[in-house]
Structure 1
Amino acid sequence: MASSNGLICFTNCLLPQEDGALVEKDLWIDERRGVILDSQRTFFLRKERPDRIIDLGGNILSPGFLDIQINGAYNFDFSVYEGDDAAYKEGLHRVAEKIVETGVTSLLPTIITQERSLYPKLLHLLRPYSAPNSATLLGWHAEGPFIQLAKRGAHAPEFLMGAKEEIKSFESVYGAENLVVAEDWLMGSEATGDALGVRVITAAPEVDGVMVSIPELARRGVVFSIGHSIATTALATAAVQGGARLITHLFNAMPQLHHRDPSIIGLLGASPHLSSPSELTDLGLTKGKVAEMSFERPFYELIVDGIHSHPNSVRLAYSSYPDGCVLITDAMKILDPHLPDGVHPWRDGKNFVKAGDKLYLEGTDTLAGSVVSLDKCVRNFSRFTGCSLGEAIRCATYNPARCLGIEARKGTLRPGADADLVVLDRKGRVQSTWVAGREVWTRA
């Protein structure tokens, strides 16, 4: 049912704030424009009250969740392209339509290491997409091929490579047109085929040619993420000094924490004042302009399925740096809350084995992404860390939006932001999902 003047008021609800608090307050939206409103300004300027009032019965009205690392879902793998653009887009759209049942209203399709000739085609197909009844596809996350062989995980070793020609190697693999300097991440409420959108690259700083390419990638608007790496503390710190903003699935595919060289994980405990010449020299950070730049701890991803990281590790990370925590699923194509356990096909003749929220390659003990949904990650996170549900929601909304630089539009309840919303009960279970001011899914 639509309102006659386009104004909707949600009342009797708790609104998550950007600091993680939950506040009892009404929220107004304009369903015609698909945006959140400043209720006082709207009332006094338009002299109108909402035609439609929705009583949420004390439930939580949250910004829609953002999943910035997801490999596929609902039997579609973002990394598999079989030469048919229409079939690939159909799969993308199917994921976008179905995933709203998990509270996700924006996602960043992720492709893992593969044959290099496929990258330009896939990245072009993964430019932003939005539709009235589905989650928004923000752009792409390329995980590989510039990663460390020793920490490859489920990535195919034959496709891994170095960046010997530095930024030209990145352009050669991903396509120069996909790495031009970004302007606005998305113009208007509808994405266009020419919009670059959000771009994230996971790579290992120690791989030949990667470290020196980070500043240029950052200048072009790419979010560089440290992952699948054996970087030392000095190298990891230098990467952040150079512009790296994110750590890919913390604790996984990286060295374990060691008190003498905490490596990538140790970035969470780094001092924001690590910029004096003596400290930088001690860490070996004396090359080029790296030593002249200020240090800011990066955001870090966590897969909170209770398998990829022990609950104690999750709590330790969050306690170290709560403002940088970003919840992800790293989900594979068999993410589907309705899918039973068992053996399921992956690619190249290989199979997954799904056992609850655990997913591994058949015949091995290698974890192969996850099948956990983001709403379950939020609930697990609150339970594992002891933080409030509002604080857990922040890690799936505001924090990832800040990491990507889109917090004016997504992951927030600010006036003017997109009216992408999820209604949760007090235990964090999804009751309904709204995209651009329209209800697109509701629990039966």
Structure 2
Amino acid sequence: MSDKSWTHGPVKDAVTLATLPWLLAPVLAAAFAGGGTRRWFGGRTDDRRAQAQEAKDAAAQAFYELDTAQRDLRLTVETIRAVDDSPEARRALASFEEFGRRVDEVSHRYIETIDAHDLDRDDLDAATAGRARAELSRARDDLDRVRRELERFAGELGPLLDKAETRLARLAPAVERARQALRAAAGQLDSTRAAGLRADDLAARLAALGPDLTLLNEGAGRHGAAATLERADRVTREAEAVRAEAARLPERAAEIDRRLVSLRTRAEALGNRAEQVEPVLSELRRGFTLACWQDLQSVPEQAARNVARAGERLAEARAARQEQRWADATALLATVRALLNSADEAVSAAGDRLRRLEAVRKDPGAEVDRARFAVRDAQRLAMAGRHRPDPRHAGPLDAAAARLERAAAAVEGARHPDWWRFLEEMRAVREDVGRVVAAIREARAEG
């Protein structure tokens, strides 16, 4: 048998089987000694490791979703914080801070759990993998629970968010309206000045808005959306008011000029009428008792004094107009008008008194008939639909009728009747009756 025959057949196979354990021994030793390959357990351990890894991935996903939900909610809260300082908004912000603490707590527990379990360890056994899976599952559940609570809270913030977004949407247009209002006011002031009117007070009011314009230009990011929106609205209102007043100023000046002329004419006429009061008082003194005219004694002096004071204020108003102090001129003209009204009333009172006294002396029955008609008309109203009048109405009406008869009897046959007192009594009777009629109608409307 040649040497070649040794390499074939049964002899070769026997040699190979005999030497195989010695050839594999170094390789297996290297594998169990950790020579760069993972230890293989097989069976239950691998299943537990895979389950733990799935739990770890699920917890990581829950952590990511919670972080996303918190970021979204923070945007919502910051939007509300920027423009809303109501008690409801402040409560929402406080609740968000509390949620932040809860998120931190569950996130910290999740991170601690991840750090506590190394699922890539070669010596990880089934029991350890099972504990890791359970703890990671609890961490995921905690993260999911807080996320759901965050999402419910975000839903509850819907009305506040809508209101905040509406305000934010108004912000840029509001600032632009303020700028346009300022430009319009400045342009109107230029036009008014070109007409020869200084409008210094309006110019000062417009200049006072300059610092607000600077703040608006600096933006809501620096000064807050709520403050910026409030400032823009206020600047718009004030600038529009300046523009409107500047536009009206030429008409206002013309109106002041007309009133100066009209009130001067009226003052001159009242001065002439005041001079006629004394003759009227003389007629009253000759024809009627002291009680009929005594309260009018001071009318000439009072009327003259008011007319003189009106003339002084009128001169001051004219000077204010020349100096273009429009507010002062307007206020002075109002004072002039009040003084002239007072003088007019006093002068008219004397003439009216004389006419009324002469009329009642000539025909006192007309006043009595007028008052009696009022009483009887009220009595018929009180009896309408009733068998007997309501005592609340009958009593005052009977009193008014008795008062009427006493006043009429006082002037009948009197040598020097107090006609003025008689007229005042007739007026009082009519007023008493008028109050009863109003009470009857009110009671029937309610019933």
More strand by share: 1
* Larger CA Rg, structure 1 vs 2: 2
- TM-score bracket, normalised by the shorter chain, equals under 0.3
TM-score with structure 2 setting the length: 0.19
Higher relative contact order (CA 8 A, sep 6+): 1
TM-score with structure 1 setting the length: 0.19
